[in-house]
Amino acid sequence: MHAHALVTLLAAAVSVAPAAMAVLRADGPVEPLFAAFKQKYGRSYGTAAEEAFRLRVFEDNMRRSRMYAAANPHATFGVTPFSDLTPEEFRTRYHNGERHFEAARGRVRTLVQVPPGKAPAAVDWRRKGAVTPVKDQGTCGSCWSFSAIGNIEGQWAAAGNPLTSLSEQMLVSCDFKDNGCGGGFMDNAFEWIVKENSGKVYTEKSYPYVSEDGSKPFCIPYGHEVGATITGHVDIPHDEDAIAKYLADNGPVAVAVTP
C-alpha cells in the first residue's frame, strides 16, 4: 500500500465528530431489504431488466457483506449507497487515485522536513474544531476535490481562523488541471488554486456542490465569497510515522492511498 501525503500552506490571516451514518443491516430476505435501499437512497431503474439486474448485484453485495462481517466482527458492514453497484462499477467511479498517483511519482516536490520524534498516541482534530461535517461526493469521482478542500478547511482552522465549509464544486467545475468527476489529484488542485485562482478558495455556501449525480456543470468563476486563501502546499515524506507526527503537530493533511 502506498500513501502520499501533502498539506496546504495558508496565506496570512487577517487578524466534531461527524454524525454516524445509519446503515441498513445486510441480513434478512433480500427483496424487502432492496426495497428499503431504493427508498432510502432514492433509486429508480428505467426498465424491469435493469431492476432485476440491480437486485442480483445487490444480493451479491449483501452476501459479500455478511462474509466480511463474519471475518471482521469489530467492523460494521451493511447496506450503503453503493450496494447496487458491481465491483467494477465501483472501481471505475471511485478508484481514480491510482493513475494520478503514478503520474505524480516523477514530479518535483517540496518535501517538508518533519522534526524527529514520535507522534502522540491519539490526536483528534475534530475536537479541536478543525474538521467540518462529513460530506457526500455522490456518484461523481471527485474524491480528490473533497480531500484537497478538507485539507484546506483543516489547515485554515488550525491556523486560528473560523472553521469554514469550503467549495468542492469550485474544483470539480473549474480546475482544468484535473478531470472533474473523472478523477484528479490534490497536488494539481492546490496548484490550480494558487496559480489560476490567486490562492482563493470559495465558501461552500456561495458555490455549493451539485455534482452528486456525476455531472460536471460549467465553471462559474465569479460572484462567490472567498472563505480561505492559500499560498502553496508541501509534500510529506512517504513514511507513516512522519505523516502522523506532522499531522499531530500541524493539523489535518490530505492523503492518497493506493493498493
Q: What CATH number has the domain bearing residue 180?
A: 3.90.70.10
- Indicate whether 233 belongs to any domain: yes
Check whether residue 66 and residue 104 sit in a common domain: no
Q: Which of 6-20, 115-129, 193-207 has the lowest mean pLDDT?
A: 6-20
pLDDT band of 12, cuts 50, 70, 90? very low
Check whether residue 135 and residue 8 sit in a common domain: yes
- Indicate whether 72 belongs to any domain: yes
- Indicate whether 114 belongs to any domain: yes
The count of structural domains within the chain is: 2
* Nearest CA among 73, 70, 83 for reference residue 23: 83
pLDDT tens, position by position, 133-162: 999 998 898 999 999 999 999 999 999 999
Amino acid found at 235:
D
- Indicate whether 207 belongs to any domain: yes
* Nearest CA among 148, 166, 152 for reference residue 203: 166
- Indicate whether 124 belongs to any domain: yes
Cβ neighbourhood burial of 259 (10 Å; 0-12, 13-18, 19+):
exposed
pLDDT (0 to 100) of residue 18: 30
pLDDT band of 204, cuts 50, 70, 90? very high
Which letter does DSSP use for residue 207 in this model? Answer: S
pLDDT tens, position by position, 24-81: 555 567 899 999 999 998 899 999 999 999 999 999 999 999 999 899 988 888 899 8
Contact 214, 232 (CB under 8 A): no
Contact 11, 231 (CB under 8 A): yes
Check whether residue 117 and residue 158 sit in a common domain: yes
Contact 14, 240 (CB under 8 A): no
pLDDT (0 to 100) of residue 258: 67
pLDDT (0 to 100) of residue 20: 34
**Better-scored residue on pLDDT, 185 or 99:** 185
Check whether residue 149 and residue 43 sit in a common domain: no
Mean of per-residue pLDDT scores for the chain = 86
pLDDT tens, position by position, 82-104: 999 999 888 877 776 555 556 55
Tell me the residue ranges of DSSP E strands in the chain. 2-10, 200-202, 226-236, 254-258
pLDDT (0 to 100) of residue 94: 73
- Indicate whether 25 belongs to any domain: no
pLDDT over 70 percentage in the chain: 83
CA distance 140 to 183: 9
Count of CA atoms in the C-beta half-sphere (13 A) of 238: 10
pLDDT (0 to 100) of residue 112: 84
- Indicate whether 130 belongs to any domain: yes
| Res 14 pLDDT > 50 | no
pLDDT (0 to 100) of residue 92: 76
Check whether residue 8 and residue 39 sit in a common domain: no
Beta-ladder partners of 203: 166
Check whether residue 147 and residue 241 sit in a common domain: yes
Which domain, by its residues, includes 239? 2-20+94-258
